């Protein structure tokens, strides 16, 4: 009889306890985080680890877009969740940042950095990422959260893939000069990005260019401009011996007589034999004419076909002169000339104001057709 009574009491007690448990209802709450970013994988992992100590995974849902945590649990658990979130979501807390180095192979490191910086101006998630680069080593150094670094790497990957798809190889046959000399000019007009380049085929005198379509158009313009036949310049010299012995101007130099009289105060101007000098554009020349006792040299002769201007650098003209009652001597002129093609330039004169004679040179430079 006693045993029966005890059993009844125990059974009744269990029923009451179960009833009490049934009264604890599940509550649904959402917690909007203000200071930490759930889009950051490291942050999210840390939050989940802490909350799983309080509630099960199926009681928890995270919305990265609104930076909100949803929890379905009894009120006591909700209180614990609130304490965990309050501890984690602290104002002014720093995000976990990582520094990585990203190598580039197609674009330059500066281009890659610029692409990420431009994206950061529009993408709030990338704000605060720190970047540096070295074009020499082709590396971009990035410091930021894991989410920022993943997004930055994706931007660089897309840039490299896009740039690689734009690179094509073309061959340019060089006709009027050496391909190697033209290659150095072409390279000056290109950025020299990784994955691109200019090679020379000496056998066919060609340039092999691997570049983007936009830069291939630039290469074509450069080759058309500089792959031209060098002009041959004809320098017609008229050497004039001026003195105070006699009077008059030789008939062959009548066209420059007025200019001679304006520039010099000699009384006699006699034309001397002088050679015609031909020199290729951009080159030097030297002529020794034993018959006339004259030597002519110049360091460089340049011609601009667009303006028609000719420049003769370090022109030196020497003439052996016979003087009555004296030993032969040599008169020399050294100068640099700038002139229009087809125009005559008069240079030279006495070394002193009271000189008895002098060497004068009239030069007409034309382009050989």
Q: Kindly state whether residues 288 and 361 are assigned to the same domain.
A: yes
- 356/43 Cα distance (integer angstroms): 98
Does some domain include residue 276?
A: yes
Determine the pLDDT at residue 245. 83
pLDDT tens column, 317-351: 988 877 666 777 888 888 898 988 888 888 877 66
Q: Kindly state whether residues 348 and 257 are assigned to the same domain.
A: yes
Does some domain include residue 12?
A: no
Q: Which range (212-226, 295-309, 343-357) has the least confidence?
A: 343-357
Determine the pLDDT at residue 133. 93
pLDDT band with cut points at 50, 70 and 90 for residue 16: very low
Does some domain include residue 337?
A: yes
DSSP string, 51-91: HTTTS-GGGEEEETTTTEEEEEEEHHHHHHHHHHHHHHS-T
- DSSP conformation class of 306: T
Q: Kindly state whether residues 32 and 141 are assigned to the same domain.
A: no
Q: Kindly state whether residues 306 and 337 are assigned to the same domain.
A: yes
Domain boundary residue, one of 181, 209, 226: 226
Domain boundary residue, one of 112, 145, 165: 165
- 223/175 Cα distance (integer angstroms): 10
Does some domain include residue 335?
A: yes
Determine the pLDDT at residue 147. 87
Determine the pLDDT at residue 204. 93
Q: Kindly state whether residues 237 and 312 are assigned to the same domain.
A: yes
CA angle 211, 213, 218 (to 5 degrees): 80
Does some domain include residue 71?
A: yes
Q: 3 is written with which tokens?
A: 């045993």
pLDDT tens column, 145-175: 888 999 999 999 998 888 777 788 999 999 9
Q: To which residue do tokens 């609104």 refer?
A: 66
Does some domain include residue 1?
A: no
pLDDT band with cut points at 50, 70 and 90 for residue 15: very low
Tally of domains within the chain? 4
- 55/65 Cα distance (integer angstroms): 22
Does some domain include residue 7?
A: no
Say whether pLDDT at 95 is over 90. Answer: no
Q: 2 is written with which tokens?
A: 């006693």
Domain boundary residue, one of 88, 117, 134: 88
Q: Which range (134-138, 193-197, 266-270, 275-279) has the least confidence?
A: 193-197
Angle of the 75-88 helix axis to the 41-51 helix axis, nearest 10:
140
Q: Kindly state whether residues 360 and 250 are assigned to the same domain.
A: yes
Q: Kindly state whether residues 161 and 178 are assigned to the same domain.
A: no
**110 is in which domain, residue-wise?**
98-165
CATH number at residue 60: 3.30.1370.10
Q: 154 is written with which tokens?
A: 């994706």
Determine the pLDDT at residue 22. 47
């Amino acid at each position: 009889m006693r045993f029966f009574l005890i059993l009844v009491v125990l059974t009744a007690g269990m029923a009451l306890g179960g009833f009490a448990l049934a009264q604890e209802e599940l509550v649904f709450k959402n917690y909007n985080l203000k200071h930490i970013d759930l889009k950051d994988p490291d942050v999210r992992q840390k939050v989940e680890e802490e909350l799983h100590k309080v509630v099960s995974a199926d009681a928890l849902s995270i919305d990265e877009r609104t930076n909100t945590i949803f929890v379905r649990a009894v009120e006591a658990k909700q209180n614990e969740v609130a304490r965990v979130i309050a501890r984690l979501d602290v104002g002014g807390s720093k995000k976990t940042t990582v520094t990585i180095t990203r190598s580039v192979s197609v674009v330059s490191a500066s281009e890659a950095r610029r692409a990420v910086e431009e994206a950061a101006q529009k993408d709030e998630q990338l704000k605060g990422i720190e970047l540096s680069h070295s074009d020499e080593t082709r590396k971009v150094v990035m410091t930021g959260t894991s989410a920022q670094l993943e997004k930055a790497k994706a931007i660089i990957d897309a840039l490299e893939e896009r740039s690689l798809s734009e690179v094509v190889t073309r061959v340019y046959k060089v006709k009027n000069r050496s391909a190697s000399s033209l290659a150095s000019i072409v390279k000056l007009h290109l950025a020299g990005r990784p994955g691109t380049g200019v090679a020379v085929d000496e056998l066919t005198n060609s340039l092999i260019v691997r570049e983007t379509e936009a830069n291939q158009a630039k290469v074509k313009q450069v080759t058309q401009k500089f792959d031209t036949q060098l002009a041959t310049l004809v320098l017609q010299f008229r050497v004039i011996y001026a003195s105070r012995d006699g009077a008059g101007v030789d008939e062959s130099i009548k066209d420059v007589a007025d200019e001679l009289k304006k520039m010099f105060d000699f009384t006699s101007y006699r034309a001397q034999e002088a050679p015609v000098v031909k020199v290729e554009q951009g080159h030097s020349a030297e002529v020794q004419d034993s018959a006339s006792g004259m030597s002519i040299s110049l360091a460089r002769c340049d011609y601009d076909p667009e303006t028609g201007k000719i420049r003769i650098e370090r022109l030196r003209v020497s003439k052996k002169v016979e003087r009555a009652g004296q030993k032969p001597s040599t008169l020399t002129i050294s100068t640099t000339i700038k002139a229009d093609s087809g125009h005559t330039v008069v240079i030279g004169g006495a070394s002193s104001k009271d000189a008895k004679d002098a060497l004068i040179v009239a030069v007409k430079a034309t382009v050989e057709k």
